[in-house]
Structure 1
Amino acid sequence: MQIQSYVSPGEALGALSCRLSMMVRQKKRLPFHLALSGGGTARLLFAHWTASFRRRIDWQNIRFYWVDERCVPPSDPQSNYGEARRLLFDPLGIPPEHCLRIAGEADPEKEAGRCSEAVRGLLSPNGGPPRFDCAILGVGTDLHTASIFPHMPGLLDSEACYAVSRHPATGQRRITLTGPPILNCAALLVGVVGKEKAEVVRSLREGPWDESRPASYLLFRARNAVVFSDVF
């Protein structure tokens, strides 16, 4: 894991975007398979992409997947897909067929199974965890990433690609990528911005990197993870 610090959230997310742009250009066999997260950092990132990277990334040669999704319909303001459709896909003219949506309105267990089968069929034809070209992750102040929260060790090593989790405070059900496909990504690009994330960055640097801190656990073990932050 590398941690790169910048003077502002805009510079940090700009550097993350430049790295993604380079990776898309360098891939020899397209399309490029990208898993997206939701949340506050994702909203900033989507705005950055539509404003400054509209022509710097070949969006039509990207196929989009989800790191996690809340169990709500796409019309709900909490839907990661619905928010991305409004802030990113529609402004960039990305067609729905370029995105494998997690149907948050469906039965969670069945939908987790459907998505697991779908990504295995597309990205792991020879078995094993699927291999995304890149996943964009965020990190919460409790050191969760994706929707893998502290004290959910079964999600870090599950044989399923996607599984159902619950937010520890609200009880809201979510569908999340598990640890193995996250660790099997060719690259993890992680945006950690905002002064409230200073303790998060310190924990990523200093550890402990155990199962009680899912983001630390995964990023410490990832083959190619870069954290972009405005915290020094």
Structure 2
Amino acid sequence: MKIEYCKDSKTALRIMTEHLTQLMQEKGLEPFNLALSGGETAKQMFSLWVEEYRDKIDWNALRFFWVDERCVPASDSDSNYGQANRLLFKPLHIPEEHIHRIKGEKEPGAEAMRYSWEVKEYLPLFNLMPTFDCIILGIGNDAHTASIFPNTMELLSDSRSYTVSQHPASHQFRITMTGTLILNNSPLLIPVFGEDKKAVIEHLADRFSPSNDTPAAYILSHAVDATVYTTE
């Protein structure tokens, strides 16, 4: 794991985006399979991409997937897909066939299974599981990542690709990528900003241990290629 310290969040997102474009160039002409997260940092990222990278990235080469999704309709303000659609896909005229969304309005268990099959059919396999060309993760104040929370640590080693989780405070159901899929040989790019995240960042440099047993620490301790982008 590497931690890139930058002067501000916009600079950090630029450096992360340059890393993403490098990965795209290394892959070449094939479609590039990217898994997105939602949240406030994602909003900043989408806005930056539209403002500064409209003509610098081959958007037609990208195929978009999701790390996790809240179990709400796409029209709901909580929907990660809805957020990306408003801020990124529509402004950049991304074709619908390039977007593989989790249908948060469907029954969670059935949708987690359906999406697992969609991802498995579309992506190349590594260790008999799908593998993404890049995964952009977020980290919460409680050091959760994807929708794997400190009280659902078993999802870190779940053998499925996607499953159902539940937010410990709101009890909202979510569909989430498991730790097994996150760690299946994909480069991880992780932007983490905000004063409320500084304590989380301090602990990320420590390896996963009984005193640092959070989902984020586990993922970063086991990832083959993970870079955190944050502010000084």
TM-score in terms of structure 2 length: 0.96
Is 1:84 paired with 2:84?
A: yes
The aligned residue for residue 71 of structure 2 is 71
Task: Report how many residues are paired.
Answer: 231
Q: Secondary structure at 2:119's aligned position in 1?
A: helix
| Aligned residues of 1:134 and 1:185 also touching (Cα < 8 A) | no
Q: Which amino acid aligns with 2:160?
A: A
Trace 1:145-156 onto structure 2 (pairs within 5 A).
Answer: 145-156=145-156
Displacement, 1:185? 4.0
The aligned residue for residue 159 of structure 1 is 159
Displacement, 1:219? 1.2
Q: Which amino acid aligns with 1:35?
A: A
Q: Which amino acid aligns with 2:105?
A: E
Displacement, 1:208? 4.0
Q: Secondary structure at 2:130's aligned position in 1?
A: coil
After the TM superposition, which parts of structure 1 deviate over 6 Å for at least 4 consecutive aligned residues?
A: none
| Aligned residues of 2:126 and 2:184 also touching (Cα < 8 A) | no
- CA-based RMSD: 1.4
Structure 2 gap ranges (5+): none
Trace 1:131-150 onto structure 2 (pairs within 5 A).
Answer: 131-150=131-150
The aligned residue for residue 172 of structure 1 is 172
| Aligned residues of 2:163 and 2:175 also touching (Cα < 8 A) | yes
Displacement, 1:153? 2.1
- Once residues 177 and 10 of structure 1 are traced to their aligned partners in structure 2, the CA distance between those partners, rounded to angstroms, is 27
Distance 1:114 1:15, change over 3 A: same
- Once residues 178 and 126 of structure 1 are traced to their aligned partners in structure 2, the CA distance between those partners, rounded to angstroms, is 15
Q: Secondary structure at 1:86's aligned position in 2?
A: helix
Displacement, 1:209? 4.5
Displacement, 1:206? 2.3
Q: Secondary structure at 1:81's aligned position in 2?
A: helix
| Aligned residues of 1:133 and 1:187 also touching (Cα < 8 A) | yes
Q: Secondary structure at 1:138's aligned position in 2?
A: coil
Displacement, 1:29? 4.6
Deviations 1:136-172 (A, max 9, x none): 0110010000000002122111111000000000000
Deviations 1:23-48 (A, max 9, x none): 11221251000000000100010011
Q: Which has the larger displacement, 81-90 or 28-37?
A: 28-37
- Once residues 190 and 69 of structure 2 are traced to their aligned partners in structure 1, the CA distance between those partners, rounded to angstroms, is 17
Displacement, 1:107? 0.4
TM-score in terms of structure 1 length: 0.96
The aligned residue for residue 32 of structure 1 is 32
- Once residues 209 and 74 of structure 1 are traced to their aligned partners in structure 2, the CA distance between those partners, rounded to angstroms, is 38
Q: Which amino acid aligns with 1:61?
A: A
